[in-house]
Structure 1
Amino acid sequence: MAKTQLNVRVDEGTARAARERALARGISVNRYIEELVRQDTGEAGRTFVEAAADFMKQYESVFAEEFAETRGTGTAVGDGR
């Protein structure tokens, strides 16, 4: 993907916070800002939902079997019975 340079002016406190957060995550400030924008625009959430849907599709039979067994015994998942 082609990159475009974007110059942004922020106060020193914001710049310091961005640097500290990026450093704590082990990524560049550029990548940190890029991830924040993606999260804000929903790309990260959409990616997560797509991955979760794919996981459920792959393991649908396993879940169906497990819940069928659970329903058949009268035991609810997570109720400790």
Structure 2
Amino acid sequence: MPKTQLNVRVDEATARAARERALARGMSVNRYIEELVRQDAGEAGRTFVDSAADFMKQYEAVFAEEFGPEAPERTRP
């Protein structure tokens, strides 16, 4: 996949931490930042799916009553 250059400005402490953490993981700072962004993007998606699953579990009986096979027929306006 082609790469796009992205320039960001951070304070020296943040830059130092990024370099140290990348070095500790045996990767470049660029790769380290890429991984962080991918993880963050994935977390948001997982959080949404988990929340939706919890919601459906919590209201499963309500949905079954309203939309299940035993639900009364509804006429649309």
TM-score normalized by the length of structure 1: 0.52
Superposed CA deviations along residues 8-27 of structure 1, whole A, max 9, x for unmatched, are 00000000000000000000
Number of the residue aligned with 1:7:
7
Identity rate, percent: 91
Number of the residue aligned with 2:40:
40
Q: d(CA) in 2 for partners of 1:38 and 1:2?
A: 16
RMSD of the TM alignment (CA)?
A: 1.7
TM-score normalized by the length of structure 2: 0.55
Q: d(CA) in 1 for partners of 2:41 and 2:3?
A: 18
Q: d(CA) in 2 for partners of 1:6 and 1:14?
A: 17
Larger of the two Rg values belongs to structure: 2
Write the mapping of 1:1-81 to structure 2, written as runs, cut at 5 A.
1-42=1-42
Q: d(CA) in 1 for partners of 2:25 and 2:40?
A: 18
Superposed CA deviations along residues 20-69 of structure 1, whole A, max 9, x for unmatched, are 000000000000000000000007x87xxxxxxxxxxxxxxxxxxxxxxx
Q: d(CA) in 2 for partners of 1:18 and 1:8?
A: 13
TM-superposed CA distance for 1:6, in Å, is: 0.1
Structure 2 alignment gaps of length 5 or more = 47-77
Structure 1 alignment gaps of length 5 or more = 47-81
Amino acid at match of 2:13: G
